[in-house]
Amino acid sequence: MLRNATTVLIMALALSPFALSQIPQRTLQPADTSVPRSTIAMDVSPYYGVGFQLGFVSGVGFSFRYTSPQRFAIELNAGYITAGKNRAWYSFGAELQYQFDNSLDSRFYGLAGLGYYADDKDSVGNELSYPTRLGLGVGYEWFISRAAALALEVPLTFFIGEPGIQVFPTAQFGIVYYFR
């Protein structure tokens, strides 16, 4: 019991606004260092991305991501697959991200996500026992070019349904093309 309380306290302190404000912003020094100039802040304007997400928390399908200069990002995901007129699978969800590390070739971030998943067979409604999912975790994104990135996320996923709640660590994968 004491171990769980200690873990929760450490996580709360680590994710507090004070701790997050201590992360330095990424800057770029001017090329000519003989003349003193101020540094130029990078990511001074928001940027957008589109791609594809595959996971158990925030949906499977097409994704849209908005990233702000303050290190926050929001991602919206939705997908629909049909197997004729009697069967359809769909999901939609959202994810909030906070960047811990913001380098030129990768991103390390924390995430919180919410999603809804459905398996509709013969138009009788959702057959999934746990259609609603919540998740908290971390993610890492590798830039494979200046604008394209591959993402791996590892959230702790809360499967919520009529039978109750189940919790499992899961993985999510994505590919994003950014417009900067």
> How many whole angstroms separate alpha carbon 73 and alpha carbon 61?
18
Coil, strand or helix at 14 = helix
Angle among Cα 152, 156, 162 to the nearest 5 degrees reads 125
Structure confidence by residue, pLDDT tens digits, 131-163: 999 999 999 999 999 899 999 999 999 999 988
Tell me the whole-structure pTM to 2 decimals: 0.72
Range in 59-63, 119-123, 137-141, 167-171 with the lowest mean pLDDT: 119-123
> Residue 21: is its pLDDT beyond 70?
no
> Residue 11: is its pLDDT beyond 70?
no
Cα distance between the two ends of the chain? 48
Higher local confidence (pLDDT), 110 or 81: 110
> How many whole angstroms separate alpha carbon 49 and alpha carbon 74?
10
What does CATH list as the number for 44-179?
Answer: 2.40.160.20
Enumerate the domain spans of the chain.
44-179
> How many whole angstroms separate alpha carbon 45 and alpha carbon 37?
21
